[in-house]
Structures are given as C-alpha cells and as structure tokens.
Structure 1
C-alpha cells in the first residue's frame, strides 16, 4: 500500500466533513492528510493559532492503517516545530469513548470539561498535549 502526505486544505477539509458532522473550516486553517492508494484515509486540521496554542481536529477511516510513524511525526512537528506552539488543544464529546481512548493513548491530557456542551447533551472534554510531553519526533522546548 502506498501512502503519501496531503497538504491541500480543501481536499483534507472535504474528507473531514465526511467524518465529522457539522465540521466547519475556519479562516487561516492548515491541514495534513494521509492518502493511501489514492484515497484520503486520515486528516488533521489546525486552526486558532494564537502563538502559544493551536487547535487540532483529527478524523480517520477506521481500520485503514492510517496511524503511521511518518504521519504522527508530521502531525506533531507542524504545530510544535513549525508554528512554535507550547500546546495543542482538541475537544471530544465525553460519549465518544473511542476518540477519548485514542487521544489519551497519544499522550493528550484532560484539561477541562464543558458541562452539557455536546450535541447529545453530555459534556465536551478539552484535551491538551504540551510540548514537553510530546513523544513524537525531535520536539524540544524553545
């Protein structure tokens, strides 16, 4: 299976919309997707860069072998090394146990809960990966 990184924002955003209902692209967003055998199987969109923080949204096709070391390195090097942020923030509905398990396995830590903010009436969990906690690539403190 051939795999390639995709940096086309429109193409990755179109994929994200198929995986994340209600996904909206914000101005200034950036993207890294993964194409396998001609089809995008994973996407990461970054938005809300403010210097110390950037928001990260992730979507993937289950079971399509998308979580490669190369892709992980690209997805964490961009915010920490290119943008120079100190932290990456993401949010997950508390009811989405698969996404929560995935984020926690990557090393994201729960930072806050927004009570009743999820579409299903449940909580939204804010997760954070700090630069010093990142285990992917050569990320080092500024």
Structure 2
C-alpha cells in the first residue's frame, strides 16, 4: 500500500534533489509517497513569491506511483495551504518525458529560458493556474480525505 509522507521534508528533499541534479534546496516544503517503507515519489515546493511557487517532481522512474490522493495532497498544498494562484515548473529542453508529464498534468508551456542550465541546455517554463487545476476538488479531494481517514490520527 502507498502512503503519503507529510512530515519528513528533509528525507523527501534529498530524494528529489538527487533525482533532479540539485545539491540541496532552501526554504522548501516537500511531500513524499512511499511504498513498503521506500520513497517512490517526491514533490518539493520552493521559491514562493507572492502568488507563485515553484514545483519539482521526482520519482523512482516507474509510471505507477501517482495516486489521486497524492495528486490532491500536492496541488492542494500549493493552491490552498500556500495560497498560491500559480505553480511554475522548469523542465530541461532535452527532457521530453518530463515535458509530456507536465503537459499531462495540465501545465501549459509558457516560454523558454535560453542556455539556463550549466551545460548550456535551455529550460522550458511551464505554468498552471489554480483555475486550471483539476486535482484540488472532486474525486481527487475525496481520495485524499479517504486516505487521511484510513491512516488515522497519527498524521
């Protein structure tokens, strides 16, 4: 069974940092997903500025980690708890799988930062507005509430 990891921010941050090629993050919030005690996914938020926050997503490279409850937890953090109106994601131009993933989630391609990576690769800017997010209400929110009830008061 998969379990949302709410209160182990540093553990999740290290998981995400290792997979996205970052040394570390500062002033962040992180939500993980584990199965059999091992992290299989992590979402990290940083660079909150007014109504905007940056989102970084990493997984164990399988396609079977997303759950409706986890998606609701992550997007509700940004749009409800952090009270942001938009999420920004930056994706390497040579990472076509990540571009497809962001677009599948509902992010819109907004622009490109030329030669923004240390190796000269461009970064593609993706954005999602709260009004465009399908994960904060409906079946996703219901799945999150069910997951919280199932886990009990220890969270």
Q: What displacement does 1:116 show?
A: 1.4
Quick one: distance in 2 between partners of 1:46 and 1:122? 23
The structure where helix makes up a greater share of residues is 2
Q: Give deviations 1:90-128, integer Å, cap 9, x for gaps.
A: 100010000000000101011120111124422101110
Q: Give deviations 1:54-107, integer Å, cap 9, x for gaps.
A: 111110012262111111111101110111111000100010000000000101
Q: What displacement does 1:23 show?
A: 4.0
> Any gaps of 5 or more consecutive residues in structure 2?
139-155
TM-score, length-scaled by structure 1: 0.90
SS at match of 1:35: strand
List aligned pairs for 1:61-100, cutoff 5 A.
61-63=60-62, 65-100=64-99
Q: Which runs of 4+ in 1 moved over 4 A?
A: none
> Any gaps of 5 or more consecutive residues in structure 1?
none
Q: How many residues align?
A: 137
Q: Give deviations 1:31-69, integer Å, cap 9, x for gaps.
A: 000011110000011111123111111100122621111
TM-score, length-scaled by structure 2: 0.83
Q: CA RMSD in A?
A: 1.5
